[in-house]
Chain A
Amino acid sequence: MVNQKKQGLQTIIFEEPPVLTAWATIVGPKEGEGPWRSDFDWIMEDYEFGESSWEKAESKLLRETVKLAVSKKNYQPEDIELLVSGDLLNQITSSSFAARELQIPFLGMYGACSTMAEALLTAAMAIDGGYFERVVAAVSSHHYSAERQFRFPTEQGVQRSMSSQWTVTGAGAVVLEKGIYGGPRLTCATIGKIIDLGQKDANDLGSAMAPAAADTIKTHLSDTNRPSDYYDLIVTGDLGKVGSALLKQLFIKNGVVPEPNYSDCGVLMFNDNQDVHAGGSGCGCSASMLCGPLLKKMVQGKIERLLLVATGALMSPTTSFQGESIPGIAHAVALENP
């Protein structure tokens, strides 16, 4: 018997592609000063968001984003059958504490900054597998909660390296439903392998993740027999300026022709004068770009076919101290207008 739902090595095809029926994104103040201000649903006035710690602020950010996405379809949280969610903090507490309030059956995901794609494809499998009809995929990241966990205390006077990226404060939530509605559909997804070419610099995650993105994109195109210009836009999650420059060179090396129309959420997120060095990063980077400008452009018909390749660097401060290199991963989800 031929497996109809899997094609090639790593790609899953959805028979009845789930539809993205509603989405929302809330971002931090700095992200709100960037080029996409009008495309975000809501911009936080400050990083505390009315809470007493960065972690609480992040959990509230995620919770409010899910509520906002759900309310756009006039649903209540209890109308949602499954929440697939993740974030960057230890034990993904932002997600589980948000789920505690929302009281939606909950699956936690950790894929570092690749979590948005991981959550979307898991949600889509749950729907196309016939188990659920209405699932929310959501992620969050918060600059200061990530900074204190992965790098330095926020008040310490340190100089950031030129290749370092700025963790985006932002959350994105997408409501996926069994395909009876119009709207962008999640047609197929490629689950990435971990690629580690020995990069160790925790201040340069773009370089560590670029080979994983290159591998996943190449595998996706060959699994689906699609030319690279099949997509109006291939967008990676958060390679930043350094990583996306590397990926372009890897495209050439891997023979990905014609050169795809390619961009990166980390590069797009901020203006050059915002002093973020190599661009944005974090789960919230690809999530808020997707749930803000990118899906808006799909609805407007400016983008018909989008391949989101969210990238993650799966290290921890402990493994970095122990001298381990950084394992990179990338998952691709294809979004297509009907």
Chain B
Amino acid sequence: MNTSADQIKKIEAQEYEDLVSQTKPKPTLLKNCIWAFVIGGLICTLGQVILNYFIGQGLTKLDAGSATSVVLIFLAALFTGLGWYDVLGKHAGAGSIVPITGFANAIVASAMEFKREGYVFGVGARIFTVAGPTLVFGFAVSILIGLIKVVFS
């Protein structure tokens, strides 16, 4: 008795799911992709300009890379603070999420939003809402690779 009721419920849910997927508007894929490609490409180009500048100043490639990240993160933090980055993100989608500026935006936006809950448990704690998981997984993978190298060398 119970199983058949469950089955009916399942069928009903599946039928409805089909109806929903017919009705739901699709994302404007082509437009989104063009935006993501162009904005993402431009942010990377800006990165290259900064990188070339630092290399021209005589920094090593590694240091120039770090300095470029710092400058881009600064710009993203500033634009987020001024309330511009979310406007860009609305159109650019992944184009402004994937670059390191998107990482910075997620950090700053989370921190700013919880300012009203105080500087310690508001800003201080929430700053890691997105940065935390990102760093956890980044560290985990890199440490794992390091361990593999330790074992096999």
Q: Which residues of A contact B (CB under 8 A)?
A: 52-53, 148, 152-163, 197-199, 204, 207, 211, 241-242, 245-246, 249, 278
Contacts and interface: CB of A to CB of B under 8 A. Distances in A.
A130 to B, nearest CB: 41
Interface string B2-23: 0000000000110011011001
A157 B16 contact: no
Interface stretch (B50-58, B65-73, B107-115, B142-150): B107-115
A274 to B, nearest CB: 14
Contacts, number: 88
A32 B110 CA distance: 29
Given A157-B97, A159-B32, A278 B13 contact: no
A197 B85 CA distance: 37
Nearest to A278: B25
A292 B46 CA distance: 50
A interface SS class: loop
Given A152-B109, A156-B86, A246-B19, A53 B116 contact: yes
A200 to B, nearest CB: 10
A211 B16 contact: yes
A207 B23 contact: yes
Contact of A162 (B27, B106, B109): B27
A155 B16 contact: no
A123 B97 CA distance: 47
Interface of B: 12-13, 16-17, 19-20, 23-28, 32, 80-81, 83, 85-93, 96-97, 102, 105-106, 108-110, 112-114, 116, 129
Given A155-B113, A199-B16, A204-B24, 17 more contacts: A154-B86, A154-B109, A155-B83, A155-B86, A155-B105, A155-B108, A156-B105, A157-B89, A157-B96, A158-B89, A159-B32, A159-B89, A160-B90, A161-B27, A197-B17, A199-B17, A246-B20
A207 B23 CA distance: 9
Contacts of B83: 155
A119 to B, nearest CB: 28
Contacts of A161: 27
A154 B113 contact: yes
A242 B91 CA distance: 22
A52 B116 contact: yes
Given A156-B106, A162-B25, A278-B25, A148 B113 contact: yes
A162 B13 CA distance: 22
A56 to B, nearest CB: 9
A52 B118 CA distance: 13
